[in-house]
Amino acid sequence: MRRRDFFLLIGGTTIAWPFVAQAQQPERVRRIGVLMNVAAESSEAQPRLMAFEHALQQLGWNERDNLRVEIRWGANNTDLDRKYAAELVALAPDVILAAGTLGVEALQKVTRTLPIVFCNVADPVGAGFVDSLARPGGNVTGFSLFEYSISAKWVELLKEIVPSVTRMAVFRDPSNPAGVAQFGVIQATAQSFGMELRPISSTLNAEQIEHTITAFAGEPNAGLIVTPSVAESTHRDLILNLVARHRLPAVYPFRFWAASGGLASYGPDPVDQMRRAADYVNRILKGANPSDLPVQAPNKYQLVVNLKTAKALDLKIPPTVLTRADEVIE
């Protein structure tokens, strides 16, 4: 009888049972696809991705033991988003994280079954990604980028920093449902201040944008608000250069604008959205259905002021703004 046999005595009869060691089975490796709306080399790329991966690690997921992450950098480019969406879906991941509207649009064209968690999407209902915020209803859920009331804050902030502003240009996307709604709030708020409003379409090319902003800045008491759009990121350097050249006070929707030389920004934290998205990814990996996970609004907003830019514009930032600021860049 082999030594591995297990002997059991029943009713005076010896029965030999082979002993099989219960080796611990390795944990199943899960796969996540990630479609980013920034370029890999951009300053925002790594902080956002690291926030997502760190949050997953805190939830027990890591690439050393139980997770494989496939990352594609769409960079808000429609062609790249379509290409990478098809690549990620072909890998049949357990769930896909999509940052930005274009990425979700591209993914929905190639799958209606794979779970998708989005972040940094302005209007998921208006874009047709979900049936409602409370009950998404399909394979998509996530974290919306804005509540439309924030649009009023941009007007109020610009007026508070530069009380002399009576004319305001708004860089906006007229083809985006979110852009239309944001502009409506801005219009109403500007009227309450008696301000003249001038829309600038983000669909203009670079030469047209330069001509329009230059002409507007040539008139007195002017200010600018940049609202979120795909073109807003594409033309960031052009807008910042024009604003600096014409000494035009401007308010922006994200911190990276102020960090790049913009006067002030107020808006949600895209890094925090990536961090929160990890929770929904974790729930789906553990069996949750996207249709049962309500779309969540931002719970963290940042006010950032660039004092160096204010000095270049001969502006003194009011103490009421500085005391509220989450970050002051000097």
Asked if residue 175 lies in contact with residue 150, where contact means CB atoms within 8 angstroms, the answer is no
Do 323 and 209 share a structural domain? yes
Number of CB atoms found within 10 A of residue 120's CB:
27
Domain shared by 167 and 251, yes or no: yes
Half-sphere exposure of residue 90: CA atoms within 13 angstroms, side-chain side: 6
Domain check: are 126 and 104 in the same one?
A: yes
Residue-level pLDDT at 277: 98
**Residue whose tokens read 């703004």:** 321
Residue 18 confidence (pLDDT):
47
pLDDT at 314: 96
Q: Read out DSSP for 284-328?
A: HHTT--GGGS--B----EEEEEEHHHHHHTT----HHHHHH-SEE
Are 106 and 238 members of one domain? no
Clarify whether residues 96 and 125 are in a common domain. Answer: yes
Assign residue 97 the CATH number of its domain. 3.40.50.2300
Q: What is the pLDDT of residue 25?
A: 57
pLDDT digits (tens, 9 = 90+) for 47-80: 999 999 999 999 999 999 999 999 999 998 999 9
Q: Are residues 135 and 211 in the same domain?
A: no
Does the pLDDT of residue 86 top 80, yes or no?
A: yes
The answer as to whether 156 is a domain residue is yes
Q: Is residue 10 part of a domain?
A: no
Cα gap 259→267, rounded to integer Å: 13
Whether the Cβ atoms of residue 45 and residue 73 lie closer than 8 Å to each other: yes
| pLDDT band at residue 139 under the 50/70/90 scheme | very high
Q: Is it the case that residue 103 has pLDDT exceeding 70?
A: yes
Residues 96 and 157 in one domain: no
Task: Tell whether the model's pLDDT for residue 22 goes beyond 80.
Answer: no
Q: Is residue 20 part of a domain?
A: no
In the predicted model, is pLDDT for residue 152 greater than 90? Answer: yes
pLDDT tier, 21 (very low <50, low <70, confident <90, very high otherwise): very low
Name the nearest CA neighbour of 140 among 170, 119, 171. 119
Q: What confidence score (pLDDT) does residue 177 get?
A: 73
Q: What is the pTM of this model?
A: 0.87
Question: Can you give the residue range of the structural domain that contains 289?
Answer: 30-146+270-299
Per DSSP, the three-state class of 312 is helix
Instruction: Give dist(CA 136, CA 130) in Å, integer.
Output: 4
Residue 173 has a pLDDT of: 86
The residue type of 160 is E
Q: Identify the residue whose tokens are 């429609």.
A: 78
Do 54 and 180 share a structural domain? no
Share of the chain above pLDDT 90, in %: 82
Does 318 share its domain with 205? yes
3-state secondary structure of 250: strand
Residues 150 and 181: beta-carbon distance below 8 Å:
no
Higher pLDDT, 286 or 203: 286
Determine the Cα–Cα distance for residues 255 and 259; give it in Å rounded to an integer: 6
In a domain? residue 7: no
Do 219 and 102 share a structural domain?
A: no
56-71: burial string, b at 16+ Cβ within 10 Å, e else: beeeebeeeeebebeb
Which residues share a beta bridge with 265? 252, 304
Considering the chain, what is the average pLDDT of its residues? 91
The pLDDT score that the predictor gives to residue 7 is: 39
Separation CA 251–CA 265 (nearest Å): 5
The answer to whether residue 53 sits within a structural domain is yes
Question: CA dihedral in degrees (145, 148, 153, 159; nearest 10)?
Answer: 120
Give yes or no for residue 129 having a pLDDT over 70. Answer: yes
Averaged pLDDT, 6-13: 43
Q: What is the mean pLDDT of residues 190-196?
A: 96
Has residue 135 been placed in a domain? yes
